[in-house]
Amino acid sequence: MLSAALAGLAAAQAVLAGLALRRRDPLLAAVGAGIAYDSAVIGLGASLGEGEALRALSVGRFVGHAVLTPLLVVWAARLGFPRRVRRAAWGVAAALVVHGLVTEVAGLRLEPRHYADTLRLAPAESGPPIPALVALAVVGAAAWRTRRRALLAATAVTFAASGAAVAVPPLGNLGEAVLLAATALTRRPARRPTADRHGRPPGGPPDRHGGRRRSGARPAPGGRGRRSR
C-alpha cells in the first residue's frame, strides 16, 4: 500500500517538475526530476527486489541528491537578491556538489532497509545530509527575506519531515513534495530591462524636450509649426 502511495507521489512530483520546466525554470525542474526519481525508486523497490537493478537505481538516487539538491541554492538566490549574491550562489552550490560526491557517493555501500511494504537500499554508514540542510537553510532565508510565507512554511515542514524520516522514511519524500510544490508555485521577480550596447537606458534616445522616445518612433510632423499667439 505504501509502495503504491510513493509511486503516486513520484508521479505528482514529476508533474510539478514539468510545471517548473513550462515556466522556464530549468534549475527547479532538474531538482524536481531528481526528487521524483527518488520516490519512484523507493516505490518500486519491493517489486524489484534486492537485486542489481535496484542497486543501480539506488546509486542514481544518491548521485541525484548530491548533484541536483544544491541547485536550490542558486534558485533561492534569484528571489530578489543582487547579482553578486547570485554569482556567489553558484560557488556555494559547486562546493556542496563536491562535498556530496565525496562524502555520500564515493565509497557508497548500500544495504537493504524495510519499512511497511517498502524496500530501499540505504548507506550502511551515513552522516547528516549537509548539502540538503544547507540548501534548505538558504531557501528558508530567501523566503524570510522576500516575505514569501508559503515558501517559508514549506521549508519548515520539510525540515521537520527530514527529522521524522529517521523513524518513518517515507515522511522525507512527503516533505520534499511539499517543498517542491511551494517552489514550483513561487514566481520569481521579473528581470529589469538593461541598457543597450551604447549604454543608453531602455525606451530609446531622449527627445528634444528631455523625455524618452520609443525606439523607431518618429517625431510628430510639423515640428516647426506655427506659434500660438
**Predicted confidence (pLDDT) per residue in 45-62, tens digit:** 999 999 999 999 999 999
In degrees and rounded to multiples of 5, residue 214 shows phi and psi of -60, 145
Amino acid at position 25, single letter: D
Confidence of residue 218 (pLDDT cuts 50, 70, 90): low
* Mean predicted confidence (pLDDT) in 119-144: 90
pLDDT surpasses 60 at 207: no
**Predicted local confidence at residue 208, as pLDDT:** 52
Looking at the chain, the whole-number percentage of residues with pLDDT higher than 70 is 82
Least confident of 4-8, 179-183, 208-212: 208-212
Res. 127 pLDDT band, cuts 50 70 90: confident
Computed over every residue of the chain, the mean pLDDT equals 85
Among all chains, which residue has been given the C-alpha cell 552550490?
A: 93
Residue 228 has pLDDT above 50, yes or no: no
pLDDT tens readout for residues 92-103: 999 999 999 998
pLDDT of residue 200: 53
The reported pLDDT for the residue numbered 81 is 87
| Range 129-139 average pLDDT | 92
Q: Quickly list DSSP for the chain.
A: -HHHHHHHHHHHHHHHHHHHHHTT-HHHHHHHHHHHHHHHHHHHHHHH-SSHHHHHHHHHHHHHHHHHTTHHHHHHHTTT--HHHHHHHHHHHHHHHHHHIIIIITT--EEEEEETTEEEEEESS----HHHHHHHHHHHHHHHHTT-HHHHHHHHHHHHHHHHTTTSTHHHHHHHHHHHHHHHTPPPPPPPPPP-TTSPPTT-SB-TTS-B--TTPPPPS-TT-PPP-
Residues 66/134, Cβ–Cβ less than 8 Å = no
Kindly report the number of other CB atoms within 10 A of residue 204's CB atom: 15
User: With 0-12 CB in 10 A as exposed, 13-18 as middle and 19+ as buried, what is 197?
Assistant: exposed
**Banded pLDDT at 229 (limits 50, 70, 90):** very low
What confidence category does residue 225 fall into, taking pLDDT thresholds of 50, 70 and 90?
Answer: very low
Neighbours of 40 (CB within 10 A): 20
Q: What is the pLDDT of residues 140-157, one digit of tens each?
A: 999 999 999 999 999 999
Is residue 210 predicted with pLDDT exceeding 60?
no
